[in-house]
Structure 1
Amino acid sequence: MKFIAATAFLAASVSAFTAVGPRGRHQQLVQSNNVNAGAFAPAIMPSNSALFMAAKQVVHGGGDLVDLMCKTDVEKEAAIAKATVELQATERQLCDVELIMNGGFSPITGFMDEATYDSVVDNMALPDGTIFGLPVVFDTNDESLQPGTTILLKQGDLPIATVELTDKYTPNKVKECKQCYGTSELEHPGTLMVATERGKFYMGGKVTGLNLPVRDFPCKTPAEVRAELPDDKDVVAFQCRNPVHRAHYELFTRALDDPLVGEGGIVLVHPTCGPTQADDIPGTVRYKTYEVLKEETANPRVLWEYLPYSMHMAGPREAIQHMIIRKNFGCTHFIIGRDMAGSKSSITGEDYYGAYDAQDTAKANAEKLGVQPVPSLDLVYTEEEGYVTVDEAKEKALHIQKLSGTKFRQMLRGGDEIPEWFAFKSVVQVLRENI
Structure 2
Amino acid sequence: MKFFTAVAFLTASVSAFTTMTPNKVASSNAMAFSQFSQQSALMAAKQVPHGGVLVNQMTDDKDAAIAKATVEIQASERQLCDVELIMNGGFSPLTGFMDEAAYNSVVENMALEDGTIFGLPVVYDTDDESLQPGTTILLKQGDLPIATVELTDKYVPNKVLECKQCYGTSELEHPGTLMVATERGKYYMGGKVTGLNTPVRDFPCKTPAEVREELPDDKDVVAFQCRNPVHRAHYELFTRALDDPLIGEGGIVLVHPTCGPTQADDIPGTTRYKTYEVLKEETANPRVVWEYLPYSMHMAGPREAIQHMIIRKNFGCTHFIIGRDMAGSKSSITGEDYYGAYDAQDIAKANAEKLGVTPVPSLNLVFTEEEGYTTADEAKEKGLSIQKLSGTKFRKMLRGGEDIPEWFAFKSVVKVLRENI
Q: Match of 1:70?
A: 59
* Whole-angstrom distance in 1 between the partners of 2:210 and 2:179: 31
Listed one character per residue, the Cα deviations across residues 227-250 of structure 1 (whole Å, up to 9, x for unaligned) are 000000000000000000000000
Does residue 335 in structure 1 map to residue 321 in structure 2? yes
Listed one character per residue, the Cα deviations across residues 9-42 of structure 1 (whole Å, up to 9, x for unaligned) are xxxxxxxxxxxxxxxxxxxxxxxxxx95469931
**Percentage of matched positions with identical amino acids:** 87
* Structure 1 residue 384: Cα displacement: 1.0
Does residue 128 in structure 1 map to residue 118 in structure 2? no
Match of 1:386 among 369, 372, 375: 372
* Structure 1 residue 50: Cα displacement: 1.3
* Structure 1 residue 270: Cα displacement: 0.2
* Structure 1 residue 51: Cα displacement: 2.1
Q: Match of 1:395?
A: 381
Does residue 50 in structure 1 map to residue 47 in structure 2? no
Listed one character per residue, the Cα deviations across residues 24-79 of structure 1 (whole Å, up to 9, x for unaligned) are xxxxxxxxxxx9546993133545531233100001012x20001113xxx10000
The letter for the 1-side match of 2:55 is V
* Whole-angstrom distance in 1 between the partners of 2:131 and 2:103: 19
User: Please, which moves more after superposition, 348-357 or 321-330?
Assistant: 348-357
Match of 1:290 among 267, 276, 279: 276
| Structural mapping, 1:206-355, within 5 Å | 206-355=192-341
User: Per the alignment, do residues 50 and 346 of structure 1 end up closer, same or farther by CA in structure 2, a change over 3 Å counting?
Assistant: same
Normalising by structure 2, we get a TM-score of 0.93
User: Please, which moves more after superposition, 404-413 or 100-109?
Assistant: 404-413
Contact 1:45 1:66 in 2 (8 A): no
* Whole-angstrom distance in 2 between the partners of 1:317 and 1:294: 30
Aligned-partner SS, 1:362: helix
* Structure 1 residue 407: Cα displacement: 1.4
* Whole-angstrom distance in 1 between the partners of 2:115 and 2:332: 35
Aligned-partner SS, 1:380: strand
Listed one character per residue, the Cα deviations across residues 278-299 of structure 1 (whole Å, up to 9, x for unaligned) are 0000000000000000000000
* Whole-angstrom distance in 2 between the partners of 1:362 and 1:153: 34
Listed one character per residue, the Cα deviations across residues 339-372 of structure 1 (whole Å, up to 9, x for unaligned) are 0001111111111111111110000000000000
User: Please, which moves more after superposition, 256-265 or 47-56?
Assistant: 47-56
* Whole-angstrom distance in 2 between the partners of 1:396 and 1:348: 36
The letter for the 2-side match of 1:106 is S
Contact 2:27 2:102 in 1 (8 A): no
Listed one character per residue, the Cα deviations across residues 378-428 of structure 1 (whole Å, up to 9, x for unaligned) are 111111111011111112111111111121111111111111000000000
User: Per the alignment, do residues 39 and 253 of structure 1 end up closer, same or farther by CA in structure 2, a change over 3 Å counting?
Assistant: closer
Contact 1:52 1:224 in 2 (8 A): no
* Whole-angstrom distance in 2 between the partners of 1:41 and 1:258: 38
Normalising by structure 1, we get a TM-score of 0.90
Segments of structure 2 that go 5 or more residues without pairing to the other structure are 2-24
* Whole-angstrom distance in 2 between the partners of 1:39 and 1:267: 29
* Whole-angstrom distance in 2 between the partners of 1:144 and 1:381: 58
Aligned-partner SS, 2:151: strand
Q: Match of 1:113?
A: 99
User: Per the alignment, do residues 243 and 120 of structure 1 end up closer, same or farther by CA in structure 2, a change over 3 Å counting?
Assistant: same
Contact 2:221 2:317 in 1 (8 A): yes
* Whole-angstrom distance in 2 between the partners of 1:279 and 1:221: 28
Q: Match of 1:23?
A: none
Aligned-partner SS, 2:223: strand
Aligned-partner SS, 1:41: helix
| Structural mapping, 1:17-36, within 5 Å | 36=26
Contact 2:29 2:51 in 1 (8 A): no
Contact 1:270 1:304 in 2 (8 A): yes
Contact 1:41 1:108 in 2 (8 A): no
* Whole-angstrom distance in 2 between the partners of 1:156 and 1:40: 34
Q: Match of 1:27?
A: none
Contact 2:300 2:328 in 1 (8 A): yes
* Whole-angstrom distance in 2 between the partners of 1:290 and 1:87: 33
Segments of structure 1 that go 5 or more residues without pairing to the other structure are 2-34
Total equivalences in the alignment: 398
Does residue 199 in structure 1 map to residue 188 in structure 2? no
| Structural mapping, 1:122-161, within 5 Å | 122-161=108-147
User: Per the alignment, do residues 261 and 45 of structure 1 end up closer, same or farther by CA in structure 2, a change over 3 Å counting?
Assistant: farther
User: Please, which moves more after superposition, 111-120 or 413-422?
Assistant: 413-422
